[in-house]
Chain A
Amino acid sequence: MSTLTKQTLSHLDWLEAEAIHILREVAGQCANPVLLFSGGKDSICLLRLAEKAFRPGRFPFPLMHIDTGHNYTEVTDFRDKRAAELGERLIVRSVEDSMARGTVVLKHPGESRNKHQSVTLLEAIEEFGFDACIGGARRDEEKARAKERIMSFRDEFGQWDPKNQRPELWNLYNARSHKGENIRAFPISNWTELDVWQYIQREALELPSIYFAHTRPVVRKNGLLQPVTDLTPAKPGDTVEDVLVRFRTVGDITCTAPVESDADTVEKILAETATTTITERGATRMDDQTSEASMEQRKKEGYF
């Protein structure tokens, strides 16, 4: 093994080139794809990658958000603003509409709506006839995701069968599906949280304000900080504290916790991320703590 002589791409350039290639494969192979855009940092990266893949043309797919109705307004406002700036079509479908239709039934009014997004997503896929959904999931997020394909096949019920996945070789992606079936495509599968933050920094991407340090009333529970909001009020006996926090993921208010941090710039967040001792989902997702296998369970049921 000689030392490096041939010019190669830096790791961020390589990841970017791979993601662009995957986006173009979806556009080239699928008749009616959609890009899932939540206003979160991973899907914000996807939008920049789509610009690099398809400009000066328009995106060959609309954007879609499955709204639980429990999102921070900073995030949904950002979502609408970003779609308008890009001049791309944004579809929003709401878990509350599924509840009104009776297809989502909560066990109790306060139950997290996160897992019910699968139902609304499948209804939207059927409504628009989408044959592929592009998502910002990464393999480093969770154990079950480490084995997911970049082009991941879902049956008519939106189910992922981890034991029966299509082999994925070289960069020859197979995004074929029959009517009613669906492909989930993950262009940033090979990125880590650190890669995402490095890319945000390099591309100077704008983010919703709650990603940066701000003071917020919280209650400490099970080692997590639970934000005190109208949806998640303090219970009798809770001690409410004002703490300097930031969000590492922005999802449903009822199940997304911030972390203590004074990082108010991307540079400071990068410095924290490079040395952090808690994985992203562990620090912030109350619903993943239940069991080691909970993400796999939700994916089998049609979650992204």
Chain B
Amino acid sequence: MSAPEQLPEIDNGLLRFLTCGSVDDGKSTLIGRLLFDSKTILADTLNAIERTSAKRGMNAVDLSLLTDGLQAEREQGITIDVAYRYFSTGRRKYIIADAPGHEQYTRNMVTAASTANLAIILVDARKGILTQTRRHSYLASLVGIPHLLVAVNKMDLVDYDQAVFERIKADYLAFAAKLGIKDVRFIPISALAGDMIVDRGERLGWYDGPTLLDILENAPAAHTERAEDFRFPVQFVCRPQDSANPELHDYRGFMGRVESGEIAVGDAVTVLPSGATSKVRRIEIGGIPLERAIHEQSAALLLEDEIDISRGDLIVKSAEAPEPVKQIDATICWLAEAPLSPARTYLVRHTTREVKAKLAKIDYRLDVNTLEREAATGLAMNDIARVTLKLAQPIVADRYADNRGTGAFIIIDESTNNTVGAGMIG
């Protein structure tokens, strides 16, 4: 791969977004509509859902069947897990994380939201803002999705009435202010009829904003528009000493992905937690030199000085070095069936580092429906809480609000190796 500035701008990058709504909000139909109208559904897939629709006694093809993945889900007519869908408009590639809307699946929503840069929150025009609309919005803002799009669906069932749309918009804005949600847009749609998804249709003439697809096409692909500090967690150290090439005898490439910011040859860097300093001598990918590397790019860094660096270390620019910490305050979501045990030691994976951790205290548990704070001594699946964790070794972290890559962590139960929790520092 050549440096990005040398590449022609062949496309508008890649956007990951999340769709959230409850079983009846028409979420699957919306996704089916996006795939269908952007001509991403292929003939044999369509044949298969035509057969299934007929088997279930339906007259028209049910677009929601496109997103029904697993056998158990097809049998029960529900979705039980996050599914990922893909479509491309030629200008941009999209990855949709489709999270089920049921009450008990907070963990799926948090999982799907963790990689998304935009969330579409579906509201049924007949029902307006529901408890779960608030819950989805809260979770989307908790996980730091920068852009929310409230799609008021089923406009066909309220005669495309502008007053209904405006009322829902006002209701939503009233509670969004309390959550601190800043970037929120509204659009009236009918996923079933296809109005204002890819095509404008003819029944929403009073709405003069862009279509849903236009909004997706023009949303920023970057997680944040702010300039971020350079953060480079070391994944792997390349030392090809066994090579026949003597020039490689002293080669030490520190391999990783730029979590944020950018780095150029000559920049002064600090390695954490040791605090050793050096300068970037070379940046490579696959042995080919680059002038610089930007956020989300995978690269290898070669330094001017011989420093002992291993997986789990963090390379930063010397002027932007954070302090290592042995205790963290965080908001966590408990993901496992087995409850959090305050007596146990867990493993925290933060960037490429793993440290043992114990719960120091639970400040409060949050009711995601009412947003009320409650006292708690333990946590069960789908609980969200403010906690303090003690760590056996230091980590080098940022606040999640400042840096998604170095502010996030997962909690692993070593006895099962399961991922049991997700945390956001700050």
Interface residues in chain A, defined as those with a beta carbon under 8 Å from any beta carbon in chain B: 1-18, 20-21, 24-25, 27-28, 51-58, 60, 139-140, 143-144, 146-147, 153, 162-163, 165-172, 174, 176-178, 189-190, 192, 194-195, 276-279, 282-283, 292-293, 296-297
Contact = CB atoms under 8 A, between A and B. Distances in A.
A-B pairs, 7 with minimum CB distance:
A282-B44, A52-B286, A20-B298, A57-B240, A176-B417, A277-B43, A11-B93
Q: Which of B86, B408, B412, B418 has the most CB of A within 10 A?
A: B86
Given A24-B235, A53-B255, A278 B43 contact: yes
Interface of B: 1, 4, 7, 9-14, 42-45, 48, 52, 68-72, 74, 80-86, 88, 92-93, 95, 107-108, 110-111, 114-115, 147, 183, 185, 215, 218-222, 224-225, 235-236, 238-240, 242-243, 245, 248, 251, 253, 255-257, 285-287, 294, 296-298, 311, 335, 349, 352, 404-405, 408-410, 412, 417-419, 422
B243 A56 contact: yes
A17 B115 contact: no
Given A1-B219, A195-B93, A169 B114 contact: yes
Contacts of A163: 70, 72, 80-81
8 contacts: A56-B243, A57-B251, A58-B242, A140-B86, A146-B84, A167-B107, A170-B410, A292-B52
A190 to B, nearest CB: 6
Q: Which of A2, A54, A144, A296 has the most CB of B within 10 A?
A: A54
A292 B48 contact: yes
A144 B70 contact: yes
Nearest to B85: A146
Contacts of B115: 169-171
Contacts of A51: 286
A34 to B, nearest CB: 17
A170 B215 CA distance: 24
Given A8-B296, A170-B114, A57 B84 contact: no
Given A4-B12, A24-B235, A190-B86, A147 B81 contact: yes
Contacts of A8: 13, 221-222, 296
A139 B114 contact: no
Contacts of A3: 218, 220
B235 A25 contact: yes
Contact of A4 (B70, B220, B257, B298): B220
A7 B13 CA distance: 10
Contacts of B10: 10, 12
B294 A9 contact: yes
B4 A7 contact: yes
Nearest to B247: A56
Contacts of A1: 147, 183, 185, 215, 218-220
A21 to B, nearest CB: 4
B248 A56 contact: yes
B383 to A, nearest CB: 14
A278 B42 contact: yes
Contacts, number: 218
Contacts of B294: 7, 9
B7 A13 contact: yes
A9 B71 contact: no
Q: Which of B7, B71, B242, B408 has the most CB of A within 10 A?
A: B71
Contacts of A172: 349, 408-410
Contacts of A143: 68-70
Contacts of A15: 14
A5 B294 CA distance: 14
B5 to A, nearest CB: 8
Contacts of A162: 70, 72, 81
A62 to B, nearest CB: 15
A11 B74 contact: no
Given A10-B10, A147-B81, A293-B71, A169 B240 contact: no
A55 B1 CA distance: 13
A279 B70 contact: no
Nearest to B95: A190
B236 A24 contact: yes
Given A51-B286, A163-B72, A279-B44, 6 more contacts: A9-B296, A11-B13, A144-B70, A167-B108, A169-B422, A171-B257
Q: Which of B11, B215, B255 has the most CB of A within 10 A?
A: B255
A51 B93 CA distance: 25
A169 B419 contact: yes
Given A28-B236, A167-B335, A170-B404, A56 B43 contact: no
Contacts of A5: 220, 225
Given A1-B220, A24-B256, A14 B68 contact: no
Nearest to B227: A6
Nearest to B5: A7
Contact of A147 (B82, B215, B298, B412): B82
A283 B42 CA distance: 11
Contacts of B352: 25, 28
A178 B44 contact: no
Nearest to A280: B42
B83 A147 contact: yes
Contacts of B52: 292
Contacts of B236: 24, 27-28, 54, 60
Nearest to B420: A167
B229 to A, nearest CB: 14
Contacts of A13: 1, 4, 7, 297
B349 A174 contact: yes
A17 B74 CA distance: 35
B70 A6 contact: no
B412 A6 contact: no
A6 B261 CA distance: 11
Contact of A53 (B215, B224, B286, B419): B286
A121 B285 CA distance: 32
Nearest to B7: A10
Contact of A278 (B44, B69, B114, B311): B44
Contacts of B253: 56-57
